[in-house]
Amino acid sequence: MKVLDVIRYAGYTFAVGTVTEVIYIIYKRFSKKPKAKKAMTEVIFFPDSKVACVDYFTKTNGCMSRDCRFSHKENSLSKLFVTLSNSTRSMDVCVFVMTCTDLSDLLIRAHQRGVRVRVITDCEQVDATGSQVWRLRSEGIAVRTDESSFFMHHKFVVIDGETLINGSFNWTRQAITGNQENLLISNSPALVKEYRKQFEHLWSLYDPRST
């Protein structure tokens, strides 16, 4: 009897060991680790020689104009258009001067497709010629300003909490085709985290209800 017990015990142990191993192999095969996002860093420089056609680069049907006077060739602005129009969840925009209608259109279109758009800009630029702030507000986009004699001088955007656009570029026609400007586009988590934090800090700081 004792020998039989030993054999039975050994059998159980073997069976349990085998089953455990099989479960582990199946687990390893089917439990995929979330893939790390591919690192992306790009730098774009302005001025562009021509203004890119916003419809051509961002609308499903492309440009419907027969005699479009804007560029259909990829350039710095077209890359910015595409990056902004790819937003699916959120766009946190912190830009000193905003007079470019094409870029504002992309914010409005994002807002209309359900993206949470928040804008921070400088109080002294709100009523500047061509300012898009009141247009954005009239479309229901939340815009906050610094209300200070100092400048809210940032020029950065965080898209979907994971892509940063940052540099010297104000959202003006002069910055597109006139000035020497740079923009860094990056999905570096370390960078994005700091800019997200700063945006949230300013968003709370400029909350009109807190003043």
In the complex, which residues of this chain contact Zn ion (CB under 5 A)? Answer: 53, 56, 63, 68, 70
Backbone phi and psi for residue 144, each to the nearest 5 degrees, phi listed first: -120, 150
Q: Which residues contact 158 (CB under 8 A, 6 or more apart)?
A: 90, 91, 92, 164, 165, 192, 195, 196, 199
Q: Which is nearer to Zn ion, 102 or 181 (CB)?
A: 102
The active-site residue out of 48, 105, 111, 155 is 155
* Whole-number Cα distances in Å, 171 to 20, 75, 100: 60, 16, 5
Tokens standing for 131?
């300012």
The active-site residue out of 37, 73, 153, 201 is 153
* DSSP H or E run through 201: helix 189-205
Q: Cβ 56 to Zn ion, closest distance in Å?
A: 4
Residue 201 bears catalytic tag: no
Q: Which is nearer to Zn ion, 64 or 190 (CB)?
A: 64
Q: Which is nearer to Zn ion, 55 or 181 (CB)?
A: 55
Q: Cβ 53 to Zn ion, closest distance in Å?
A: 3
Q: Cβ 62 to Zn ion, closest distance in Å?
A: 8
What does the alpha-carbon distance between residue 156 and residue 168 come to, in Å, rounded to a whole number?
A: 9
The active-site residue out of 72, 79, 160, 193 is 160
**Known catalytic residues?**
153, 155, 160
